[in-house]
Amino acid sequence: MKRLAGLVSVVLAMALVVSGCSSEGSVDGPVLISPRPPLLGGGGMDAEVGGTLAFDGECLHLVHGDVEYPVVWPHGASWQTDPPAVALDGQFLEPGMSVSGGGGYLDRDRIEQEAGSQVADAAQSCIGATGEIAFFNIGSQVEVVSD
């Protein structure tokens, strides 16, 4: 039994190394990106995150009525400069498009826990009056919503 437990520990350690798992997200221009999904899956928040994508030249926001939230995208997102768009899962999400996906609205400290200090600091510089940041679940699908 002890030998089996040791073997399981070695296999799990190797799986983490091979997967390149990181608990840190990244920043690509104005795109704030969550870490890679965990190897063994995981849960997510139950809220629906969405709104109209806006870009002010420095920050990307999801807009709900008069409220703007900086947004953290799932791993794999990147910034396209011309025309401005978030590239994600073969889609180009441009300002003016409405998007939706699973996630939640978090404060800066929780963003730091979920995606690291680089992402949290960048989100903080774009934060609005609510003090909240839109966060798509790690590994979630973001869909374009037709109006």
Q: pLDDT, tens digit, for every residue of 66-99? A: 999 999 999 999 999 999 999 999 999 999 999 9
CA pseudo-torsion sign 44, 134, 140, 102: positive
Longest dimension (CA), the chain: 60
The DSSP output letter for 98 is E
pLDDT at 122 over 70: yes
Give the whole-angstrom CA distance, residue 48 versus residue 29.
Answer: 25
| Beta bridge partner(s), residue 72 | 32, 135
Q: pLDDT, tens digit, for every residue of 8-66? A: 343 333 333 344 445 799 999 999 999 988 755 555 677 899 999 999 999 999 999 89
